[in-house]
Structure 1
Amino acid sequence: MRATDEGGADLVQLLTPEGERVRHPDFDIDITPEELRGLYRDMVLVRRVDREANALQRKGQLGLWVPLLGQEAAQIGAGRALKPQDQVFPSYREHGVAWCRDIPPVDLLSIFRGTDNCAWDPIKHKFHPYTIVIGNQVLNATGYAMGQRFDGKVGDPDGEATICFFGDGATSQGDVHEGFVWAAVYDAPVVFYCQNNQWAISEPTERQSRLPLYHRARGYGFPGIRVDGNDVLACLAVSRWALEECRNGNGPVLIEAFTYRMDAHTTSDDPSRYRLSEELEVWKLKDPIERVKVHLVKQQWADQDFFDSVEAESEQVAIELRDKCVNLPDPSAESIFGNVYAEGNPVLEAQRDEFLAYHAGFAGGEH
């Protein structure tokens, strides 16, 4: 059973926890100093956004927050592999991928503050709304990818691809199985990107699967790859390859990004009740940001001024995020009835009118 929670010989890795660059016979990339500095900056800023959002929830400014601490490399690597025409279907933890799609972090916070269901334009950003129902986005992504194939938008490097994010716990859901089946039957250009952070809330992966999760792809007839989810270079390389396979009409592909959730499942969770502190300490040594920093220093690709500037930028991002969050406008009473149906609905409109009339009765302050 330990095969489900160890990296294994098949783990694709390009940057070790000690910051050493290693080569891989099948998945390798050339990275410039500027590109690696950019990936480092992405991860630092995304982590700072995450930590600030976590603090805002503890102060009562958010109803809930879903931390990504420790999963920055898995998300930034995949996010930076995307091309503008690609579609993204997230779960509820893909704050780093949203960053790569130029979605302002405050738009994510509006969901957890309860001021908006989706503050960004999914069509413009090609990043669909967060999905709270576990695994449901896999069906949505598969259907969209089937449409891409039906519309003839695959078959060359300029084609389209879809990527769908979910956690290890979602692999136990029927929606994920059904998505795999339909994607395989229709050769849908979809990358199934499983961030295996090893804990489905309080359930470890070995309680869900006898085999490593990437092996599941074999049963559906498409490739499955396990990548070091704390290695941003490996995640970038494997994601690029998988997306290219899909754009060229060779999809689907399953990627298991083997990583670790350094914080709670959400701010309503207490991980100390079900996992050992020693386990957390081991994974701190595999920190995705620190290994890039060490490599940049060893290669003399960055100096202290660069690291200081990124740190200063991250603090400014946090200040602006905090200010924007607490000043998010309250939604109107009517907004709850918006975007329910594509066209007007008499029943819904009658409910809206009744609710607004009731709500107006409190305008004078009497309750």
Structure 2
Amino acid sequence: MATEIKNISKVFGSTHALNSINLSIKDGEFIAILGPSGCGKTTLLKLLAGFEYPSDGQIFIDQQCVGEKNNSTPPEKRNIGMVFQSFALWPHMDVKDHIKFPLLHHRFLADDLKNNIEKRIEEVLNIVELQSLSKRMPHELSGGQKQRVALARAIAPKPALLLMDEPLSSLDAELRMEMRKEIQSLHRLTGATIVYVTHDQEEALAMADRIVVMNDGQIQQVGTPREIYYQPNTEFVAKFVGKANLIKGEWINECTFRPHDNTDHSLWINIDASPHLRAKNLCPIRPEQFTLSATGSGIEGIIKNVQFQGKEIHYTIDIGSDFITIHEDSQNNNFSVGDLVTIHLKHSEHIAKPTLNYVKSKNS
């Protein structure tokens, strides 16, 4: 069901956790709320769930107002499902009983589910692939299996809105990768509307239809993963998603940029940047859009840090006025801390989007 968040603010004492949040969530959409700790994303989720009430504004789920100033419909009276960071499994219930519980007590349960509870339990067990573990108790399950039970319990009654509060943060890196695939598959199979809170940009980019980037209680940008990654609107989005370098210089026009630190005063053309960044004379270039050489003209710097990451090497380079991060193919070159290097913008054929070229200015 469609969800509307209109001018929502939330104040705790003197702290403004949320400031005039507006967001429309379509039926069946997967929305990721992305941001650092303390940005307000969990507060927003609590408002959607009914654990908190707004200080101002309104929340609508399926065209029904469920939250407004100093008033909130309690969670049990909303057609929602919730997946918690800690799994929140009941130690005295086996897997099957965890799935059965909401089917017995969810007030919005459709008649066809009420009349076919055992059939629905089997359907859900198949979706999360826990058929053979239906009699297991929580202490007999692995972390990934516990997460599947939490997901199964949440989707069993077919809620209008499924809320997930950093559900993978307590899992190890390899298991998180596997559970991303599980959640994507679950979304495709169920068609549920999902609001997924995370601080992990990779999770958001990998799974969401749209990403809502938040900072300091405000929405910085809303867009598809590609829009957020390739076309950041603000300095925060550029830095937080994709770890872009914000190069200082001068915009000659809407798509031509002259970096201040370029030794040959060359121009970068066909650069895509938001009006906000252009107004501040900043150019967002992601780490993979640069390359290094030991000689030549460009932006000179000294390597301050090297991190081998398998297929990539991550370099941090001091250019005097700032530090630049560059990700290079580990088989192309191998520089060391202290090396003097030159930074170049890659040629356009090596970059998918935006198109980037490197040309000499008339004055060089």
Give the alignment's TM-score, normalised by structure 2.
0.28
Higher helix share: 1
Higher strand share: 2
Give the alignment's TM-score, normalised by structure 1.
0.28
RCO comparison, higher one (Cα < 8 Å, 6+): 1
